[in-house]
Homo-oligomer: A and B are copies of this chain.
Amino acid sequence: LLWIRQGRLPPPPDAVVWPGSEEEVQAVIRLCRARRIAVIPFGAGSGVCGGTVAVKGGIALDMKRLEAVGTVDPQRRCVDVQAGVLGEVLERSLNAQGWTLGHFPSSIYMSTLGGWLAARSAGQLSSRYGKIEDMVLSVRAVSGAGELLVTPERPFRGPDLAQLLVGSEGTLCAFTGARLRVHPAPEARALRGYRFNRVSEGVEAIRVLMRAGLRPAVVRLYDPFDTALVARSRPHPSPTPPSMRGTWKSDTVPFLLRQISRHALSRPILLNRAAGALRRCLLVTMFEGEGARTRKEDEQARILCTQRGAVDLGEEPGLHWLKERYSVSYKMSKLVDSGALADTMEVAATWDKVMDVYERVRAAAASIAFVLCHFSHAYPEGCSLYFSFALSDVSEQAQERRYDALWRTALSAARSAGATVSHHHGVGLLKSAALREELGEGVVLLDRLKRALDPDGIMNPSKLWAVP
């Protein structure tokens, strides 16, 4: 976005190719292999880590013509889908048949199945339905050697080849399709918001909830300032729900929000300090599925949360979240249009490290950018931390330098507190050096796999673990 504002372009591919069949994907890759041309598999380009930047030129293999969605097999509860279909088109097509994939990334209008598979995508309901890798029964892909790979379904025996390919971000193969697990449309849904007096109490509540064996579709905690933004986001002229108004009326949030000018963002330390004085934060939970169990799990979660000092805000904050769940990502470009910069950084950590990652990233980035965070995609072992940054500076050049410094500082702080570099945005170019560091000697094994599947090194060069 910064470059576009400056009229610059990331390195473009030499050509864009739209294959219409698996055979055409194979033909393109074989040709590229014979001529040593780089191949960059391309879905809808919503990635935020530079995973499809053509650093060595080559061919962008745009998969959008491979968009067939099969008929759901109701007995087996699965469906065959081609890799180029857009998420929202896929979900609507399944809904029309009475089913859901349960995968709702905020990019759903502009990301494809192939991209999800490449980057191990997580939807907003991942705590119940899993990440895309948990929804996959088998995958179809063309390797860098030009072979069609069809992994065995539910591999109870032998190496799990689907899980070897999923997450490879175009460096080993181009996905052409997958067999996906589907679910009947949920019978019931229970939404609820809670107010906690400290981030740490909210994080502890999520941990306890997951450890109790509950399976919320959504369990999402906003830190105090992110909470304020969420509560205020209302593109529709409906009034803020009364319960939320009640929550924040004594806070200084509206004042603070008015202060987020470009000028304020260039001196974020003050903003961060002010935000640090806020305490109250919002937890949103959603349970869905069979009616009776949904109500029971919601009730059990309510007991666990209120035992930990939470105030039950009823369903309105949940309904509000549900209504606005795709709109947040679109606001970032508005901020950029205004001349400032915004970005997000998601990492993941085990419960013993979550608060430390949160505090250290905030501290490290405090003088560079204004920092927000929410905690989501929870597991029995830990959760994802999703940081949002806003920054500004006197010139475009200074802003770019600040942006680069932010990434270096924030990611390094997260890593040194024990976080893994990415949970669901992928690694791409942006985090490849950090992943290489995190993997240590494991890089040797990846290099070997690369040579096994992409012997001439044509697939998406320089990505993921900075593939040589």
Q: List A residues at the B interface (Cβ < 8 Å).
A: 73, 75-78, 119-120, 131, 133, 137, 143, 147-161, 163-169, 172, 181, 211-213, 289-290, 292-293, 296, 300, 348, 350-352, 379-382, 384, 420-424, 426-427, 435, 438-439, 441-442, 444-446, 448-449, 451-453, 464-465
Contact = CB atoms under 8 A, between A and B. Distances in A.
B158 A168 contact: yes
11 contacts: A75-B351, A76-B381, A137-B381, A147-B445, A154-B382, A155-B167, A159-B446, A159-B449, A163-B163, A164-B164, A293-B300
A381 B79 CA distance: 12
A384 B299 CA distance: 35
B351 A156 contact: no
B156 A424 contact: yes
A348 B154 contact: yes
Contacts of A444: 147
A11 to B, nearest CB: 23
A439 B449 CA distance: 19
A156 B381 contact: no
A150 B440 CA distance: 10
4 tightest CB-CB pairs across the interface, nearest first?
A160-B163, A448-B452, A163-B163, A452-B452
A158 B75 contact: no
B452 A156 contact: no
Given A76-B350, A212-B290, A381-B76, A427 B157 contact: yes
B289 A213 contact: yes
Contacts of A381: 76-78, 137, 154, 181
B149 A442 contact: yes
B154 A427 contact: no
A154 B348 CA distance: 10
A151 B438 CA distance: 11
Given A151-B442, A154-B420, A167-B160, A75 B120 contact: no
A421 B422 CA distance: 36
A433 B452 CA distance: 24
B435 A157 contact: yes
A147 B445 CA distance: 9
A85 to B, nearest CB: 22
Contacts of A420: 152-154, 156-157
B151 A159 contact: no
B158 A352 contact: no
A421 B157 contact: yes
Contacts of A167: 155, 157-160
Contact of A120 (B73, B147, B157): B157
